[in-house]
Amino acid sequence: MQKSVFRRWVFCGFMAACLWGVIGSAEVYQYQDSQGNWIFTDTPPPDAGENVLIMDGMVDRGAGVRNLKSELEKTVAPENGVAAAALATVTVKSAIGTGSGFFISEDGFLLTNRHVIRGDARQNQAVEDSIMQMEDRITAAEKEFEIAGKQLAREREILAEMEAVMEKLPTGSAQRETLGQQYQNRLTYYQEIQKEMKGKQAAFERQKEIFKTEKTGYESRQALAGVSRNFEITLKTGEILHAWLVRAAMVHDLALLKVDGCTTPYIPAAVRDSAARQQTVFAIGSPLNFADTVQNGIVTGFSGGFIQTNAPIYPGNSGGPLVNDQGHVIGINTFKELTRNFEGMGFAIPIHTALEEFAGELK
């Protein structure tokens, strides 16, 4: 048997499942209309019946407006525009992991990437390809175990035949002693192979169960990510709130979320087309689970409708703001391309692309 069948059991899991924490006691209701669209409201229709879900962690519009901006500024007084932008940046947690986002208006609207809440299509395809490859390996390993089992069974039959022949030979005869020695050697070999196979098969079954558990968890998270409308956000102070999905863009990697009942700090948009090569910029977000991180760099170019920067952008930065030295947002960090020879360039969607996409909601 090939040893690689028993060794290469690697499954690339994707973040923890979404936590539906209870923050506060206010209620927002979720239900589907007759066309199947999800509706969020603090006043559910009287005929919705059991189809209405009460969502915890949302701020009740009827409970008055909370001045979140004032609370945050009292706790963490920003010293400059970039620090003020960091105050308006949040960590976004979804079913498939974490990313970043930021308030774009004082009435609680948040911008982030669509892939932060729905998943990255390229990564999803890579995982699905890995799952298929792993399932093929499992099938191949099971066939090898089946063949090995048949070989062991045949070896056991041969040993039984040798025992039967020895029983018929005279005790103490040279022929019986020679056959007995051959039998003992063959039995020792059989027992070693049987022990080795049992150990490998036990390890295989354990790894197969781990794979099945990871696969089920991944598929559940992907299914949840596809329908989730309520997301956990963490403020700079560590406080957790929930935001609901207003709309995910179809073409651009953008999504608009909202926290109700709050006056929020927000990052003003830079003047249209003000981004220029060599301009100093700051990427704000929660890369690699390090919340509230600011990385500086410059604008290095423009490519395919994106702003290109050498400001370090890592997993978790997605959805966070790219701001100028005044703290005005020029783009939404969205992905990073790596090259073979040097640290890759980061890319951001221009802020006015997002403002135009969600103009109807932000008016």
CA 180 to chain centre: 62
In this prediction, residues 211-224 reach a mean pLDDT of: 70
In this prediction, residues 279-300 reach a mean pLDDT of: 84
Look-up of token digits 């790894």: 207
Q: What pLDDT shows up at residue 130?
A: 81
Q: What pLDDT shows up at residue 97?
A: 80
More confident residue, 95 or 92: 92
Range scoring the smallest mean pLDDT among 125-134, 199-208, 257-266, 324-333: 125-134
Report whether pLDDT(91) > 80. Answer: yes
Q: In b/e form, how buried is each residue of 165-198, taking b as 16+ CB within 10 angstroms? A: ebeeeeeeeeebeebeeebeeeeeeeeeeeeebe
DSSP string, 42-69: SS--TT-GGG-EEETTPPPGGG--EEHH
Look-up of token digits 């703290």: 327
Of the pLDDT bands very low, low, confident and very high (cuts 50, 70, 90), residue 345 is confident
Q: How far apart are CA 208 and CA 203, in angstroms?
A: 8
Of the pLDDT bands very low, low, confident and very high (cuts 50, 70, 90), residue 34 is low
Q: What pLDDT shows up at residue 2?
A: 34
Cβ within 8 Å of residue 360, ≥6 positions away: none
Q: What pLDDT shows up at residue 120?
A: 64
Chain mean pLDDT for the chain: 79
Q: What pLDDT shows up at residue 344?
A: 62
Q: How far apart are CA 232 and CA 118, in angstroms?
A: 14
Angle between helices 121-168 and 174-227 (to 10 degrees): 160
Of the pLDDT bands very low, low, confident and very high (cuts 50, 70, 90), residue 288 is low
Token pair, residue 210, equals 């781990």
Is there a contact between 145 and 158 (Cβ–Cβ < 8 Å)?
no
Query: How would you classify the pairing of strands 230-234 and 28-32?
Result: unpaired
In this prediction, residues 43-59 reach a mean pLDDT of: 50
pTM score above 0.75: no
CA 192 to chain centre: 44
Is there a contact between 28 and 40 (Cβ–Cβ < 8 Å)?
yes
Report whether pLDDT(87) > 90. Answer: yes
Report whether pLDDT(84) > 90. Answer: yes
Report whether pLDDT(26) > 80. Answer: no
Look-up of token digits 């001045």: 67
Range scoring the smallest mean pLDDT among 56-65, 66-75, 227-236, 246-255: 56-65
Report whether pLDDT(9) > 70. Answer: no
